[in-house]
Each structure stands twice: as structure tokens, then as C-alpha cells.
Amino acid sequence: KARAALSQAGIEFSERDFFKHRFDLAQLNDLLGAASPRTVFNFNSATFKKSGLDEAVLCDEELAALLVSEPRFFNRRAVAGRR
């Protein structure tokens, strides 16, 4: 849906398969800007549920490290933009 909406609006975009081309921490921080990693983290994923981690006690730095280490933690509906 996001792809179609962006195309219809005439917005140029690029896609990234972060399972094949994982982010490093610097790239993730650049992508997020001032936003918290919570905005793209999928706390409802089976991978997160199986991890036994507690969402309430994880800080942004820990969440970013988790996203870099395991792409299944990403909410795959994430869209980032630059103006």
C-alpha cells in the first residue's frame, strides 16, 4: 500500500530489503533521525515474544542494537522520508 500511495503521489522512493542488506548502527541512526527505535520496532513479532525480553525495560540504545542484530524485529510497514 505504501508503495502505491507514494507512486500515485509522485514521490520518488527507494526500497531496501533489510533481510539481505542489513543496517549497521550508523545507518539505522541516520534513518531514524531524532525518532526513537520504538517507532519501527515490532513488539508483537513472534521473534520478540520468543526472546523473553521486556519492552518496558529496554532503552533506545538496546532497541537499536536489537534491530541491527535481527531484522525480524522491524515493523516492515516502516517508511522513512527526506524532504
Span 43-67, pLDDT tens digits? 999 999 999 999 999 999 999 999 9
Who wins on pLDDT, 15 or 78? 15
Alpha-carbon distance 9 to 4, whole Å?
Answer: 9
Report the distance separating Cα 26 and Cα 20, nearest Å. Answer: 17
What is the predicted pLDDT for the residue at 82? 57
Please check whether residue 63 is in contact with residue 41, taking contact to mean a CB–CB distance below 8 angstroms.
yes
DSSP E strands, the chain:
none
Average pLDDT across the chain, whole number? 89
* pTM for the predicted model, two decimal places: 0.80
**Which of 61, 75, 67, 59 is CA-nearest to residue 24?**
67
